[in-house]
Chains A and B, each alone.
Chain A
Amino acid sequence: MLRILYTLLLPLLLISCKKDFLEIVPKGSLIATTVADYELMMNSARFYDYDNGLPTLVLGDEVAAEESYFQNAPIRAQNAFKWEADLYEEKEVAWETDKYLTNLYPCNKIINEVMTATDGTDAAKRLLRAEALATRAWVDFQLVSFYAKPYQATTAATDPGFPRILQSDVSQKTFERGTVQQSYDFIIDDLASAIKDLPVKPLVRTRMSKPAARAILGKVLLFMGRNSEALKQFDSTFNDLAGTANPPALYNYNETFAPGGSFLPIGFFGPNYPGNNPDDFRESLVAKTNNGGSYNGNGFGNDGLVLSPQAVALYSSTDFRRQFYSDTYEDGTPIPGGRVRKYALQYVKTGMQLADLYLLRAEARARTNDLPDAKADLEFLRSNRMPPADAVVPPAIAGNQQALLAFIMEERTREFAMEGYRWFDMRRLSVDPQFSGSIYTHTIYQVSGIPVNYNLPSGRLVLKIPPYIMAANPQMINNP
């Protein structure tokens, strides 16, 4: 009878086995519950290590193309160079969109969830939330700069924007584009809330900080034409930086290119400078790295691209930034026509660079008619890029607001040529009366030597939303 009892009990024991028998989280995986978990999320390399090349590499007017090499570039790069409306085939994933959209999901998750996380102080939670907000704003700013018209106060309320994505929810089906005004308001709101809680010094340079968020906010405001507000942000940024240990600093090329300098020796891909080292964050307020070299399978590349003769002419002979260019093709044969190729560029830093900050503040100062301070910012940057004697802004320019602004734009090209910055400048300048009406031309230098020119069609400063997004959102109206 005992036997019977025992055998009857045995299954009962097992049936009533622990309720959490099935509640196990696989090793190597994590479900975010604690603040530390969200902290690890914010540290994801996906927020700073974008291995795609952006279309902006090809779109700026400072580049030209050499047919013999450019014909091997990806077809979308050729389309982009010719400023065609459609860059992509139907099924293609646009990496520049995808990589940024991929960032929004974890940002939204952190923003919406971290305040209820366990095991952490309120301050730690607010900090993470602020980082996520600033990161979301930065991503949204990139997207709105690709796919919406440049900000113009008069039309912003009606121009279609880019959808504001607020939830981490894969089941969401429909999204509305909203307006440019809504998009910018959203970005500014996010940055403003973030700045309150961000630390002055970031944990690492890949993470957001108060000065980084302020600089981004300043850039957004400047791009909107709100110059004095922008200037306030830039000034605060410099104040913040001044108060921190080891803030971002410019490389002084006079030193780094001097014998024994850290950029030397110059190898097959040029000097060892941040453009060749994805992990060199010395000049970054917040580091975000894209591919800047030849096509690597994701997005775009600089295959077959050279600096246009007009852009080459912007460099003085003593400008060390000229060292990043080669006058030969990859195989060593000379590039005809004096054109040069930026061979020292494997990585493009697209977050917020200190050089950009100096140029943006110089611009804001110039636009608010503070020409001497604008000149000072410019010359500070230039004196780190060339012998100080050559860094001086000529007085004729320095004393004239319009000329100084034009000089600043040229300096932007000198600093960021072939890095994709120019496209965003072209966009915002198109609504700036001083610069509007410019005609932009791309030239393909054929093997025969005959150049073929492509002019930027009006309206093409706005990219079409890629077809793979449109296919899922047929209710959206695409850009023309």
Chain B
Amino acid sequence: MQKTATWCRTIVRISSNKRLFARPNTKTRLMSRLTLFFLIVALLQVHTTARAQTVTISGKDITLKKVFVLIKDQTGFTVFTKADLLKKAKPVTVDVRQMPLRALLDLVLNDQQISYQISNKSIILSRAGEVRTPAPAEQDKQPSSPMFMFQGIVSGEEHALLVGATIKVEGTTRNVLTTPDGSFSVPVAEEEVLQISFVGYTSKQIRITREVVKQMETPLQIALQRATTTLADVTVLSTGYQQLNKERASGSFSKPDMDIFKMRTSSMDVMSRLDGLVAGLSVVAGPNGVQNNTNRIGGGNTTQQAIIRGKSSITLSGNPLYVVNGLPVEDISAINLDDISDITVLKDAVAASIWGARAANGIIVITTKSGKKNAPVKVSYNGFINFAGKPDMDYEKLLTSAQYIQTAKELFNPTQFPYNTLSYAVMAPHEQVLYDQFNGIISKQQADKSLDSLAAIDNKGQIKDIWYRNALTTNHNLSVSAGSAAYSIYGALSYTNTQSNRPGEKDQQFRITINQDVNINKALKIKLNSFLTNQIKSAGNNIAIENKSLPYQLFKDDAGNGIQQNYLRGYSNAVGADYAARSRLDLNFIPFDERRYGHSSSNNLTVNITGEVNCRLFKGLGFTGTYGYQKAPGSAKNYLDHKSFSQRVDALAFTVAPDVNTVPVYYLPVTGGTYFSGNFDQRSWISRNQLVYNATVRDGKDRLNIQIGQEAREQLSLSASTIVRGYDENLQTFAALDYATLSQGVFGTVSSFRSVLNELPFTSLEERTRYNSYFGLLNYFIDEKYGIDASWRTDHSNLIGSDKSSQNKPIWSIGAKWNFSKEKFMQRFSWLNSAAVRATYGITGNSPFVGGTALQDILAIERGQSAPVAGTGVAIISPANRKLNWESTKTTNLGIDLSVLKARLTASIDVYWKNTSDLLGTIPLNPLTGFRTSTGNIGNIRNRGIEITLGSVNVRTKNFEWTSSLTFSYNKNKLVSYSEAFAGFLNNAQSKVGSTYYIGYSMASLFAYRYAGLNNEGDPQVILANGNKSADPAAAQPDDIVYAGTMIPLYNGGLMNAFRYKGFLLNANIVYNLGHVMRRDVNTMYNGRLTGVQGSFTGNVSTYFSDRWKQPGDEMHTDIPRYIAGEFPFFSTRRLEYYTQADRNVVSASYIKLREITLSYSLPQSLLQKCKLDGVRFFVQAGNFMIWKANRFGIDPEYHVLGQGVRNLPPYKHSFSFGSSITF
């Protein structure tokens, strides 16, 4: 439809050469607060020359854009609007002369669904009904400069559009919320300041400068940063019981940088991903820290061990308590990492003690994502592939085949080890050759030829090809969220495929999450979180083989057939032939074929449902009920065919065949296989009821929060397993065994005098733990300056033996906070944004394990013999011990939080004193009582430490930003007292040197002999406390042992750097662990034959062996004791530990690693809009680079058994991954 004006007849000429659109001012400018803007706009030039307020226009089907150009030319009034508003508007045909501006606007905008406002020299257009007009009272305060409509789109992390973000014009009452598409528009004038804020994000301020105005053609893209500890402004803390504003919390809380957490794709373990990100939380990396979860009964998973603020227990688990959506969970591995929206680490008493008797190790509180209210459907995809490859077989220096053969020749000693005494021993191929030569069976030439050919073989290639494959992890996650005013939902599907480095193994995890929020009415809200995890694993009958097999031993021949390794059976070929002939069983051992002869699988499901009811009762008073139920059924199956070597060995031991002519009697089946089937179940529920009272006191100056509640919890673990033999997988039949006979022994079998089968065909276990607790919380905050927090709790548990009276000791905490930057006298320090000091004190507990101790004598059925000859009996497994208590930890914490230079620099420092008393441990009893040890409360541990978290924005320009954050923790602990453990017979040198704790020293301590080098016989000598040297094995006394350090890092943390250039982001994250020690790996071969080990793929030795003492004088240049062929290690005339556990072999375990380096690229918004996407990001990552290590032996301490000095073979050298995340 066209619009024709008849009021004026003058036709306006449109000047064709007029530059309608000006290029934006492209000169890069540093805008202190706006670094992440995409400025892809073309905008109208602003003329401020005053003109008449009448307009003359004439034209047919002219666009509104042209109309406003003319208006501006003629009147100086500039139009401000969203670009698409004008584009979508219908063209108009007008013919007016000297028409007043408002009349013209009414004319052209009529029927356009566009409304306008005129303010000073601005015309602000908006979609009809969209603008909140300023309140009448405010009209007066309108600025003098022209107002215009500022338009923007607010997005959060991963470019998710933020719905309901608040945009406020500072100093006015103008404020709007973002709409479901994240956009907003608000009238502003130059020099005004916009404040954009959203819960959980750092607020942002935008000053409306001339430049901003110039660029106001398209809506401004405003990205908010997730609030983190390093760049926190408004941070929400969750203790699992309540949400706190960090501004007002006195406790010691930390939050990791969730961006790094999310992108750390080298691991799918929550704790590993937190490594270095939280001050005070040290994750024990590598195999040393791999822990099975607390589920003793089975079906569990592994989690990396983490220690919060030092080790404060000797016997109990040092793991923190994991809390998901307010309720504790035992198995953290079931959770989908992509669902985690937030993690809070609770460290001191005020933060943690509400968790009572399980709080002493600190708490890790995880909150999962939920749908947003009033939000459109949003779909996100995240995925990555992580490539880790195969182990580095050269990590440890072992003898090559040539060196090995040479050494074997040197050591060959047929006098010490006569051939005929080795009928029941491993006789490796090279030894057979040497003995054959010695016994005159083959000539020297033949022997040399055979040995030379062995020396020329290297089996590493075959090991890598046959027994390993490249490890690969792929992960996909698809999530959907949406919400209306009354209901919101977040759902996710996730799939993880872990391809381990062992061929044939499968590990797949499927996860579903559905989180819903329902607002039933103003007073009643319900939240329902549920997730389901299914892990399905399977494997063949893999052989455990690493790098220490005999270096010349191949596994398959050129034709691809498996090679026999019968010598690993542990008896001679003659014996083997006799056994085989009598038993009529094939007794050849071909490792290559073994993989086919068995398989195992497991299937574990975890279902977790938690519901929360929030009900407002009276004003300020509410009820919160939290209820959770978790069920984790699992099953495991294992089948080992009779063709497998171990099954044939079993059968042989139960075969009676006195000679080759007798038909063998098989007491165990020799067909089918052994089939194990186990079922596990874990069920736990929790019910928590809280009354919450919130109030503002003194006219809103103070805030008060009081909670009281009760909590009941039960955890039940069940398992049952069966074993059948002679199982046919197809027919599903099995053999009926005479367990009564088998358990009492079969006499005169082929390989044994008497063979006993102590197999339990059926077992079942049940374990139940219950807690009942009461608690209360109080927070009072005065004037936004002074705060007090307090908590109180009692726990009762059925953990048998805890005397009810001793359980009644309440656990409590109290803390105070002073935001001194809010004081008047601080206002002149304008560079100081915020500053607060905190002080807390309180008690936390640590509870004993189930059945760990007893109020009465606990009896248990004696197991082991499936049919005890006298029938079932019970024995006392735990004698009555009535005086046991929770371990109780008193923590004092002082902290300071600072933010300066407009939050460019933030710092948070905590100092703590943590004293644990009533340590639970093993106490020696008077053996005449009938028990040597028992569990008791026996001592005190002290932990002290400092934690520092620093964040800084080093460079911030429009396109480039460099931010750093540093976490640092120092912890020193000491076993202050340990009442009786070291009395009496435990107190000797050997016990002390091997003990990992000792009064007056740190936990995980390492003790050593002072090494005096070798004597001229090649025997190790110790330096005694009186300064004398001795090689006498009985010489060393406890006082001669020296403390060499602790195996727990004294200093640890991380240094994170992020460099952002436009859409590119480079993250480099360093972790460091310093100040701890380890035993280095030393020679382990000191006596006996150089040969293989029965049934195991080991036998090669370290090259250190070559450097041993060989003749007098060698002691001048070597520390490694001599080799003695015929030494019996248990009563040797020397003590090798003087060397192997010498102070000289304790080295620093400090290291710094580049945990990962990640380059990611986010597509620019302009491109995204074309593709109708909200965000697209790609990344590549590489990890595990050693930057520095203190030891010079090439030891990676993460893959080292620190206390024993044993190298573990790292499963991979570096991991590489790439991935993407897409939101639409």
Contacts and interface: CB of A to CB of B under 8 A. Distances in A.
Contacts of A78: 1131
B832 to A, nearest CB: 45
A279 B766 contact: no
Nearest to A76: B1131
* Contact residues of A: prevailing secondary structure: loop
B1189 to A, nearest CB: 36
B1029 interface: no
B881 A170 contact: yes
Interface of A: 3-4, 7-8, 10-11, 14-15, 17, 21-32, 37, 40-46, 48-49, 71-72, 74-75, 78, 89-91, 93, 97-98, 101-106, 109, 163, 165, 168-175, 203-204, 206-207, 265, 267-269, 272, 276-279, 331-333, 346, 467-469, 471-473
Given A21-B712, A22-B770, A23-B798, A30 B874 contact: yes
A163 B928 contact: yes
B105 interface: no
A21 B797 CA distance: 9
A472 B928 contact: yes
A67 B324 CA distance: 66
The 3 closest A-B CB pairs, nearest first, are: A471-B984, A105-B930, A27-B766
A40 B874 contact: yes
Interface size on B, as a range, is: 35 or more
Given A71-B1128, A72-B1128, A279 B869 contact: yes
Contacts of A267: 747-748, 753
A173 B926 contact: yes
B1188 interface: no
B625 A28 contact: no
A272 B860 contact: no
Contacts of B753: 267-269, 276, 346
B480 to A, nearest CB: 33
Nearest to B751: A268
A32 B754 contact: no
A29 B877 contact: yes
A175 B928 contact: yes
A298 B915 CA distance: 41
Interface in B7-32: none
8 contacts: A8-B617, A21-B770, A31-B859, A37-B859, A102-B930, A278-B869, A332-B420, A469-B927
A35 B930 CA distance: 23
Given A276-B754, A467-B985, A472-B924, A14 B712 contact: yes
Contacts of B420: 331-333
Contact of B860 (A28, A109, A333): A28
A8 B625 CA distance: 11
Max count, chain B CB within 10 A of own CB: residue among A10, A29, A93, A104: A29
A102 B524 CA distance: 62
B623 interface: yes
A98 B710 contact: no
B710 A41 contact: no
Interface in B945-991: 983-988, 990-991
B873 interface: yes
Interface in B859-899: 859-862, 865, 868-877, 879-881
B485 interface: no
B986 A91 contact: yes
Contact of B747 (A21, A91, A272, A469): A272
A91 B929 contact: no
Contact of A279 (B744, B765, B928, B932): B744
Contacts of A467: 985
A168 B859 contact: no
A318 B443 CA distance: 51
A168 B747 contact: no
Interface string B908-940: 000000000000000011111111101000000
B286 interface: no
Contact of A468 (B767, B856, B860, B927): B927
A29 B859 contact: yes
B343 to A, nearest CB: 30
Contact of A172 (B748, B926, B991): B926
A32 B859 CA distance: 7
B804 to A, nearest CB: 8
A105 B874 contact: no
A388 B872 CA distance: 42
A29 to B, nearest CB: 5
Contacts, number: 222
A10 B691 CA distance: 11
A14 B858 contact: no
A89 B988 CA distance: 10
Contacts of A7: 615, 617, 623, 625
B772 interface: yes
Contact of B1131 (A15, A29, A46, A75): A75
Given A23-B798, A31-B857, A473-B926, A98 B932 contact: yes
Contacts of B988: 89-91
B112 interface: no
A268 B424 CA distance: 14
Contacts of A276: 747, 753-754
A128 to B, nearest CB: 13
A45 B710 CA distance: 46
A98 B881 contact: no
Contacts of A173: 926
Contact of A40 (B745, B796, B873, B934): B873
Given A44-B875, A471-B983, A30 B860 contact: yes
Contacts of A332: 420
B689 interface: yes
Contacts of A279: 744-745, 869
B1210 interface: no
B601 interface: no
B768 interface: yes
A105 B932 CA distance: 12
Max count, chain A CB within 10 A of own CB: residue among B689, B858, B861, B870: B870
Nearest to A289: B869
B754 A346 contact: yes
B1130 interface: yes
B414 interface: no
Contact of B709 (A11, A41, A169, A175): A11
B890 to A, nearest CB: 26
B658 interface: yes
A31 B875 CA distance: 11
Nearest to A15: B710
Contact of A170 (B623, B858, B925, B1128): B925
B1074 interface: no
Max count, chain B CB within 10 A of own CB: residue among A11, A173, A346: A11
A40 B617 contact: no
A168 B772 contact: no
Contacts of A471: 983-985
B856 A31 contact: yes
Contacts of B1131: 75, 78
Nearest to A30: B859
Contacts of A103: 930
Contact of B870 (A27, A105, A204): A204
A28 B861 contact: yes
A168 B986 CA distance: 24
A168 B870 contact: no
Contacts of B796: 22
B1125 to A, nearest CB: 14
B421 interface: yes
Nearest to B756: A278
Contacts of A25: 800
Given A29-B851, A44-B862, A165-B928, A170 B748 contact: no
A39 to B, nearest CB: 9
A4 B930 contact: no
B766 A26 contact: yes
B423 interface: yes
B687 interface: yes
A446 to B, nearest CB: 15
